[in-house]
């Protein structure tokens, strides 16, 4: 193998290492994973043949600089008959604030459920049997607090609640303050910042970065070895 060829392979290995680091960096709101009905239950009996449920993503991520995140809220009719008029509410609690739900209207503060900080009302004229309807949700998450979300499915006047998911938490027991984004899991209580400080606790990033750091070190070591070997062979050939 020529020294030029060996150096090219070394460069390719280092490039792959950096590409791996970039691909594995989490993006805020991305990679929601499968939908889950975790934390949901039927409350009041729905009309005969109607079965309403909701789902939220298994995981989301929060941009550590802007605190912004996004997710998808979905309502489903798993029954055999159309639902008729219903409404879906998307409500935030504690550190999770709902900024916007596409196609829905903001709930006035005086009408919000007790303990909530924000919410949107999504009227649905009819949800056919077997149909689903999804809504893009924009939110902010204060990682110094715990955060919860709630999805009630009700009659238009709110007198009956056919299904309610939550308030269910999104959170992380191992925050990543030094990363671009912090991944959060549905059904996990967030580990908030220590009271009296403005920074997230320095737990998690070291563990999270060690495997990547080790991989990068291995690639750089391999590159140095390849470069030394190519130079040694060239010197031998010149003799």
Q: Which two tokens stand for residue 202?
A: 């320095």
What pLDDT, on a 0 to 100 scale, did the predictor assign at position 178? 81
Query: How far is the C-alpha of 111 from the C-alpha of 79, rounded, in Å?
Result: 30
Locate tokens 């298994």: which residue?
58
Q: Supply φ then ψ for residue 190, to 5 degrees.
A: -70, 140
Q: Exposed e or buried b for every residue in 205-227, given b needs 16+ CB within 10 A?
A: eeebeeeeeeebeebeeebeebe
Q: Which two tokens stand for residue 205?
A: 């990033």
Which domains does the chain carry? Answer: 3-21+209-238 (no CATH), 31-203 (2.60.40.1510)
E strand or H helix at 7: helix 3-24
Helix/strand/coil for 58? coil
Q: Exposed e or buried b for every residue in 139-171, given b needs 16+ CB within 10 A?
A: bbbbbbebbbbbbbbbbeeeeebbbbbbbbbbb
Query: Could you tell me which of 183, 213, 202, 187 has the C-alpha nearest to residue 55?
Result: 187
pLDDT tens for the 239 residues of the chain, in order: 555 545 444 444 344 443 333 333 344 554 566 789 999 999 999 999 999 999 999 999 999 999 999 999 999 999 999 999 999 999 999 999 999 999 999 999 999 999 999 999 999 999 999 999 999 999 999 999 999 999 999 999 999 999 999 999 999 988 777 889 999 999 999 987 554 434 443 333 333 333 434 444 443 344 444 444 445 445 545 45
- 167 preceded by a cis bond (ω within 30 of 0): yes
What pLDDT, on a 0 to 100 scale, did the predictor assign at position 31? 55
């Amino acid at each position: 193998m020529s020294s030029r060829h060996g150096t090219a392979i070394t460069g390719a290995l280092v490039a792959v290492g950096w590409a791996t680091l970039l691909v594995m960096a989490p993006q805020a709101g991305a990679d929601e994973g499968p939908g889950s009905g975790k934390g949901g239950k039927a409350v009041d009996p729905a009309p005969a043949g109607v079965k309403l449920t909701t789902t939220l993503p298994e995981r989301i991520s929060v941009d550590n600089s802007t605190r912004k995140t996004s997710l998808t809220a979905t309502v489903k009719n798993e029954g055999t008959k159309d639902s008729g008029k219903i409404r879906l509410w998307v409500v935030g609690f504690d550190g999770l604030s709902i900024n916007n739900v596409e196609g829905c209207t903001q709930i006035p503060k005086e009408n919000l459920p007790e303990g909530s900080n924000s919410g949107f009302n999504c009227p649905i004229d009819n949800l056919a049997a077997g149909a689903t309807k999804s809504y893009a949700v924009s939110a902010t998450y204060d990682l110094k607090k715990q955060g919860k979300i709630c999805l009630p499915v009700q009659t238009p006047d709110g007198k009956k609640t056919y299904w309610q998911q939550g308030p269910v938490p999104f959170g992380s027991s191992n925050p990543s303050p030094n990363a671009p984004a912090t991944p959060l899991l549905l059904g996990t209580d967030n580990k908030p910042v220590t009271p009296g400080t403005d920074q997230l606790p320095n737990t998690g990033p070291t563990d999270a970065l060690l495997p990547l750091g080790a991989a990068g070190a291995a690639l750089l070591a391999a590159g140095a070895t390849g470069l030394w070997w190519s130079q040694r062979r060239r010197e031998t050939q010149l003799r």
